[in-house]
Amino acid sequence: MKVDVLLGLQWGDEGKGKVVDVLTPKYDVVARFQGGPNAGHTLEFEGQKYVLRSIPSGIFQGNKVNIVGNGVVLDPALFKAEAEALEASGHPLKERLHISKKAHLILPTHRILDAAYEAAKGDAKVGTTGKGIGPTYTDKVSRNGVRVGDILHNFEQKYAAAKARHEQILKSLNYEYDLTELEKAWLEGIEYLKQFHFVDSEHEINNLLKDGKSVLCEGAQGTMLDIDFGSYPFVTSSNTVCAGACTGLGVAPNRIGEVYGIFKAYCTRVGAGPFPSELFDETGDKIGALGHEFGAVTGRKRRCGWIDLVALKYSVMVNGVTKLIMMKSDVLDTFDTIKACVAYKVNGEEIDYFPYDITEGVEPVYAELPGWKTDMTKMQSEDEFPEEFNAYLTFLEEQLGVQIKIVSVGPDRAQTIERYTEE
C-alpha cells in the first residue's frame, strides 16, 4: 500500500480540514505530519462547526486511526482544550488518537519567546500567530527540544533545563513576562496528555501499510509558507510540502501515492509577507466578506486577491500534485468578471515562473474570464455547472496541467462535488 498526501497549495486557509473529512471514509488512517496549533482546520456538518488545531481532521469518522506525527509540534494546554471540547460534543478521542513520541512539545516559554522575538523585530515582524511554533522548531533543529516521549523519561529535569535556558534568553532581551498562568495550564495539559496512546509513529504507520491499511497524510498551512520553498522569510517553520510527509511521519518517498493539492478559486493570505495578486479595493473587500475570510485560530482578517497561477503552478511542481481540489467556488458566484494572474512583470520583464524573491517590484499580469453569475451552493453534480464555470475549470486545468477532481460549492461536508466520476 501507498500513502496519499493532502496539502494546501497557496498561503494556507485553503479548506484542508473539510476535504480530509470528506475523503476520510475511503481511508483507514489519517495522519498529521507537520505544523502545530497555529493551523486551524474548520469543518461544518450536521449544523455544527468545529475548528481543529492539532488533532487530525479524520477524528469525526468513527473507527479510524488518527495519528499526530513526529513532525508536529504540540502544545499540551491547547491540545487539552481542543480535545475536551470535542469529547463534550460526543466525539471520543482516546481510542482513536495516537501521538508520536517524537513530536516536540511547545513549552510555555516558547510562546513568550515568540512574542519577544516579534516585538524585537518591530516593523520587520513576520506576523506569527504567537503560539510558540517558531521557537519550538528552533529548539528542535538546535537539538534542545523536549519531546512527547520525554514525558515518560526524566521529564521534570528536561523541562526545567529548557525553561532555564529560555528565561536566560528572555532576560537578555529585557522582555517582561508572567509565566504563572501559562505554566499552570501547560502542566495540567501534560497530565491530560498522559491518558493518550504514545506511539513510535514511524513503526506504526509502516506496519499499518504492511497490513494493507490505507493512509491519508494531512498537511497544515500551505505550500507558499514552506520554510524552504515558500515566500521566505514570511513563512512557517516546517516543511509544508509533500516531502514533509516523509520526514514528518517516517514513510519512504516510494510509498507516496496520490497527492491531493487544495486551492481556493481565489487567493488569501494572513499576516505579513508578499502577495502579488492582493486586491486593495472593493473587490478584495467583497471577496473577504463573501468568503468569511477570518483566521480560524487568530480571528485575523485575511488579505484577499485573485487566484495566482504562477505561484500555483510552482506548488503543483514541487509537490508532484496528481489531483486538484478547488474550494470556495461559490464565493465568486456574483462577479461579472473573474481574473487570474498568469504571469508576473518584474522590472518591466514578464515572467511565468515563481522567482527567488517576490517581496517587491512584482506586478501581476491578468487573464480575464466571464463570471458565471449563478448561485452554485445548492448544486449536487457537475452536470449543473454553468457554462462559464466549466470554462473557468478548463482554463485552470490547462494552466496547471492537472485535473480538478473535486469542487467545493459551500462550507458544509455535503456541498462537495466530485468530477470525472465516469473514470
**98 among known catalytic residues:** no
Q: What is the pLDDT of residues 337-388, one digit of tens each?
A: 999 999 999 988 999 999 999 988 899 999 999 999 999 999 999 999 999 9
Confidence of residue 16 (pLDDT cuts 50, 70, 90): confident
Catalytic choice (4, 13, 21, 114): 13
Q: Among residues of the chain, what percentage have pLDDT more than 70? A: 94
pTM: 0.92
Catalytic choice (4, 28, 41, 104): 41
Distance in angstroms (rounded) separating the CA atoms of residues 326 and 11: 14
Q: What's residue 130's pLDDT?
A: 79
Give the residue among 147, 255, 243 at the shortest CA–CA distance from 207.
255
Number of other CB atoms surrounding residue 299 within 10 Å: 8
Number of other CB atoms surrounding residue 274 within 10 Å: 15
Give DSSP secondary structure letters for 388-414.
HHHHHHHHHHHHHSS-EEEEE-SSBTT
Distance in angstroms (rounded) separating the CA atoms of residues 240 and 246: 11
SS3 63: coil
Q: What's residue 422's pLDDT?
A: 54
Q: What is the pLDDT of residues 216-269, one digit of tens each?
A: 999 988 999 999 999 999 999 999 999 999 999 999 999 999 999 999 999 999
Instruction: Flag whether pLDDT at 52 surpasses 90.
Output: no
Q: What would the grid cell of residue 399 be?
A: 494552466
**139 among known catalytic residues:** no
